[in-house]
Every structure is written in structure tokens, then in C-alpha cells.
A = this chain, B = another copy of it.
Amino acid sequence: MRVACCQLSPSVERPERNAALARDAIAQAVADGAQIVVLPELVNSGYVFESLEEVRAAAVPATGELLQGWAQEAARGDALVVGGFCELAPDGRLFNSSALVDGGGVLAVYRKLHLWDQEQSWFAHGGEPAPVVQTKHGRIGLAVCYDLEFPELTRGLSLQGAELIAVPTNWPYDDPPPDGRPILHSLAAVTAYFNKVFVAVCDRCGTERQLRFEGGSVIAGPEGALRAGPIEDRGTRTILADCEIAEAVDKRTGARNDAFADRRPGHYASALRDG
């Protein structure tokens, strides 16, 4: 399974251009043999909104042209696309969502459960658990950006059988810790390691209304290593990794150990489930 993360730099001031950018990136990744193409968070709208009107103007329904376009590109290579988009729900609410589509159309829409900072001014919180979807290219779990800071969510996806967690992301730039790699890369690597899954973080790049983004797309493997990325100049580029799905099915970690079978669910803090 070839996984692509298309690191892009959308602009909150040019939503039509954003849609074209994303579509072109999918087309190129599919041409390069990708079976799973991951796009950044809010790829159609940009991120640094100034008003609710601006969000609403950029928002599109899950049934609209945006995702149909992704499906058309996916169909050219029997591929899947996972991307973040600014969603206008049928009831008029706005969500920071991620869609999974194949050549036939939309397979799942996930509405981000954990909203970062100003997102809380623009979007409603998702009200459904993050899904795992059985596809022709494996079981895909959906999460968005800040969700990655909640190990409950990614552990939950993995326990439900996700083999790849696809994470559209718009990560504001962090000064790297003095001792090493950006925290986003450690989060991807350790989430993959904990759960013996692949984690594909597709980040955006560039600067929007004074907010600089990380440009930190990476694809991590079940062993906790980065299989692709980071992109050295943090710019617009697609990273590719060939991921053997079987590696994420087998949870054994040694002759007598297994990352899932070794769990002791009766012995974890009740606070974990009760909130």
C-alpha cells in the first residue's frame, strides 16, 4: 500500500484556488502510484479565519462538488483520499471535518472531536466517535490534528482495527525542543509505536495572516520510525511511503508479547473511562 501525504499551503483568502490545489495534488499522487492520498486539515478553506461569515462562505456540504472531485481523482487509480475540509452540515452547523472517499464517493465523514483554540469560535464539536472504515486498501482510522494529542482516541481507533491512522493537520509552528525533533513527529512516531499501526500526518505549510505552520508531514511505521518525511524545507511537497499493511495487523512485539493482548483493561484507572 503506497501512502502519500500532500503537504500544501492553502490560503484562507482563495477558497477556489485551494480546491484546485488539492485536486491537482491528488491527481499527481495517484499518478505516482499512491493508493491512499492524505491531504491537510481544512484544505478547501484555509485556517486563520477572521469572521464566522468567512468560515461559512468557504464551507461546503459533504455531498458537494469538492468531495466528488476527490472521488473522480481517486477513481483513476483505484485509490482512497482522506482530507480535511470545512463542512457545512445539513442543519447549518459548521464542522472541522475529515472525509474518506474512494472512486465511488464518500465512505465516511468524521467531525473533529477536539478543537484547538480559535476553532472553537467557528466550529461545532463533533459528536460521534472517530471512525474506522474497512476499505479495499485496509482499515483506515480517521483523526484530525489536535486529536493526536489524545492517546485515548488513537488507541481506540487501533483497538477497533485501524491499520493506518490518517491525520489531516494544520499544526502551528513550534520551536523544536532543545533536545531534538519537533513534537509533531514524536507524536506520530509514538502513536504508531504504541498501537503498531501506520500514522500518516499530512500537515499544511506556509504562513497565513501571520500564523506560520509547521510544514511537518510525516508517515510513521509500527516500529516507531518515520518512513517518510519530514520535508527538509517544510514547503509544498508530497511524501510517499510503501506500507505493508500486514505489519499493522500483527501486534506481536516479541516471542511472548503482544501490544494488544498484553493490555490489562481491568487494572487501569477508572478515570480513564469516566472522564
Binding site for B on A (CB under 8 A): 113-114, 116-118, 120, 125-130, 146, 149-153, 155-157, 159-160, 177-181, 183, 186-187, 189-190, 193-194, 223-226, 253-257, 259, 262-269, 271-275
Contacts of A181 in B (CB 8 A): 180-181
| Closest beta carbon of chain B to A156's beta carbon, Å | 3
Residues A187 and B193 in contact, CB atoms below 8 Å apart: yes
Tell me how many chains of this kind the complex includes.
2
Contacts A183-B224, A225-B179 hold; do A254 and B117 have CB atoms under 8 A apart?
yes
Nearest Cβ distance between residue A111 and chain B, in whole angstroms? 10
- Residue contacts A-B, CB under 8 angstroms, 16 given: A116-B254, A120-B256, A129-B267, A151-B152, A151-B155, A152-B155, A152-B268, A153-B268, A155-B272, A156-B268, A159-B269, A160-B271, A186-B186, A186-B224, A190-B190, A265-B273
Q: How far is the CB of A120 from chain B (nearest CB, A)?
A: 6
Q: Which residues of B contact A259 (CB under 8 A)?
A: 149
State in angstroms the CA–CA spacing of A256 and B123 once bound together.
Answer: 14
Residue on B nearest A227 in the bound complex, by CB = B179
Contacts of A255 in B (CB 8 A): 117
Q: Which residues of B lie under 8 Å from residue A151 when comparing CB positions?
A: 151-152, 155, 194
Chain B residues, CB < 8 A from A157: 269
Task: Name which residue of chain B comes closest to A176, CB basis.
Answer: B225
Does A179 contact B271, Cβ atoms closer than 8 Å?
A: no
**Minimum CB–CB distance for A150 against chain B, Å:** 6
Q: Which residues of B contact A268 (CB under 8 A)?
A: 129, 152-153, 156
| Contacts known (A114-B262, A151-B194); A226 close to B273, Cβ less than 8 A | no
Q: How far is the CB of A165 from chain B (nearest CB, A)?
A: 13
Question: Contact between B225 and A128 (Cβ–Cβ < 8 Å)?
Answer: no
Distance in angstroms from A271 CB to nearest chain B CB is 4
Cα–Cα distance between A128 and B267 once the two chains are bound (Å): 6
Is the beta-carbon distance between A183 and B194 smaller than 8 angstroms? no
- Say yes or no: A272 contacts B225, CB within 8 Å: no
- Among A126, A253, A263, A266, the one with the most B-chain Cβ atoms within 10 Å of its Cβ is A263
What residues of chain B lie closer than 8 Å to A130, measured between beta carbons? 267
